[in-house]
Structure 1
């Protein structure tokens, strides 16, 4: 099928640097305060001269020294203007508008052809741009990796992993592939298996089948929902070994998803009394030198949407999890 296997690496975008710099030059606007603007707050007055920007963004420009009144920087949005004053504003783009830009990065690609790619996402890499992470995301890297990404929804990303979860993700490179992969995921025909370290002793396999919803108290968390509410979710958990950390049992487990809800494994294992190691959000204490939740998307299996070939890709444990895994003497991912 003409597939390419490689560890990453992107074309050098240096040739486009000059054009990009020119495109990013901020606009400057000047206007004189008329009589009807006398006594008006600076930020409110600016909304009438730059209506395409939110008032919050204009306030941030004021605070950053991007607004001059009669040639002097004013950094208080509540500053009252006087008729006849000349105001100059440098209209820096919003963070959101800069989010969907190509950024060259060494994507750890484990499989690629003209239809799709599979990436072994490292822990710490954010998948989609969002508040606090408007750049340096997987989406930014995909936009630099191939030109067609700019024409695709979310640059071809059809599912996600949490920032601090490592492992395999499939990404479409054409609209046809994105559509087909989305349908496969909806039909639960993309099979995802994870390796995790959890607190407590797990000696026997078990199933957690509990619906999930957004936590009603903390919007950054998910929670098991009361009967009749939330979205159906099932996780199968298989033991791979038990060790100790600071005198307390820690278990290595193999988790198989039947659904792909946000934070599913993290919530289900915490609900079962076995929060993931170092998953502070769901009650997991740090151990074995880990500083992020001990979760890795280790195997991804699906039928290629264009060729029909059965693909099953495996990503080895990254260094931090491999060391912790070895420390408790756990078994590897079953074949």
Structure 2
């Protein structure tokens, strides 16, 4: 007997009056390929307002109710796993976590289990019936900090709408190579790299991406920044900071080969060179509750590894100042 997972979604007003069914599903089920979504449609797995829609180019409109039935195969991609999560806030509609490092958000090639999705299914099997298991936005495997998750289809759809209309404030802290003079705004489109398909790059053919950054503290050769996202492209902060020649410390993909600098201690050089991950932390989330409309805000302190890094950079500057003085 074939078992199915059923997902129910309501087409939001972010789509035009008439939008192709496959385009709507590609947005709402972004973790699945377009080929996979097309198979759902032509195999009669998609129901719109009580009727089967079996052609990708059929149109849906705002308010339409879509039910998608997906074959529930037995694999690690949707198996519950007891993975510890730091819960910052929870009610019947939303869940806010402070994600630890070394935690992948969605299962995929090379990470078929041990992900945030597996952890959510362990907490509550109802996440299985929400697109992306309620995950509204992603953080990279080794980026730490705040994430918000919808616990039911209504709150999930509302959070997706808030994200699309840029009404969720997402603020980060990072430490970059180079001493910045001042803050600024980066408006550069981002696309998948033409040959290295697992990474992103600034490209005129890409999607619009906007990143605001402000200086928290300058060091001799590095800068502690506060970064605010206006859009949410994959690896956006990491790609944008590399593009303006201030790559993140510890970034294994968009970083740089670190060379010894004048007036930097061996201890500082070693810590910066060997920092085990991109120095990036999601420090603040601010939004109106998707159901009650109440304004809510959460803050997350920097994790110990970034605190130790900043402490060492500060120590190096003090020692060098005293030496030169």
> TM-score w.r.t. structure 2 length?
0.68
Indicate if the aligned counterparts of 1:123 and 1:163 stay in contact, CA closer than 8 A.
yes
Match of 2:234 among 249, 258, 262: 262
User: Mean alpha-carbon deviation: is it higher for 96-105 or for 267-276?
Assistant: 96-105
| Residue equivalent to 2:255 | 283
Q: Where do 4+ consecutive residues of structure 1 move more than 4 Å?
A: none
Match of 2:156 among 178, 181, 187: 178
Distance 1:197 1:96, change over 3 A: farther
Report 1:144-183 matches (<5 A): 144-183=122-161
| SS of alignment partner, residue 280 of structure 1 | coil
- CA radius of gyration, larger in: 1
Match of 1:211 among 189, 193, 197: 189
Q: Does 1:302 align with 2:282?
A: no
Match of 1:327 among 297, 312, 323: 312
List alignment gaps of at least 5 residues for structure 2. Answer: 1-72, 259-270, 316-325
| Residue equivalent to 2:176 | 198
Residues 129-169 of structure 1: CA distance to partner in whole angstroms, max 9, x if unpaired?
00111111000000011232121112111110000111110
Match of 1:318 among 294, 303, 306: 303
- Note the C-alpha offset of 1:284: 3.4
| Residue equivalent to 2:111 | 133
| Residue equivalent to 2:33 | none
| SS of alignment partner, residue 127 of structure 1 | coil
Match of 2:212 among 230, 236, 242: 236
* Aligned-CA RMSD value: 1.8
Residues 50-97 of structure 1: CA distance to partner in whole angstroms, max 9, x if unpaired?
xxxxxxxxxxxxxxxxxxxxxxxxxxxxxxxxxxxxxxxxxxxxx982
List alignment gaps of at least 5 residues for structure 1. Answer: 1-94, 331-335
| Residue equivalent to 1:11 | none
**CA distance in structure 2 between the partners assigned to 1:199 and 1:160 by the alignment:** 24
**CA distance in structure 1 between the partners assigned to 2:229 and 2:83 by the alignment:** 30
| Residue equivalent to 1:121 | 99
**CA distance in structure 2 between the partners assigned to 1:316 and 1:261 by the alignment:** 24
Residues 5-35 of structure 1: CA distance to partner in whole angstroms, max 9, x if unpaired?
xxxxxxxxxxxxxxxxxxxxxxxxxxxxxxx
**CA distance in structure 2 between the partners assigned to 1:137 and 1:255 by the alignment:** 26
| Residue equivalent to 2:202 | 224
**CA distance in structure 2 between the partners assigned to 1:170 and 1:284 by the alignment:** 31
- Note the C-alpha offset of 1:285: 4.5
Report 1:55-74 matches (<5 A): none
- Note the C-alpha offset of 1:282: 1.0
**CA distance in structure 1 between the partners assigned to 2:281 and 2:313 by the alignment:** 17
> TM-score w.r.t. structure 1 length?
0.66
**CA distance in structure 1 between the partners assigned to 2:311 and 2:105 by the alignment:** 28
| Residue equivalent to 2:78 | 100
Residues 212-233 of structure 1: CA distance to partner in whole angstroms, max 9, x if unpaired?
000112111111012xx21000
- Note the C-alpha offset of 1:309: 1.0
Residues 159-212 of structure 1: CA distance to partner in whole angstroms, max 9, x if unpaired?
100001111100000110000001110111111000000000112011111000
| SS of alignment partner, residue 75 of structure 2 | helix
**CA distance in structure 1 between the partners assigned to 2:293 and 2:229 by the alignment:** 22
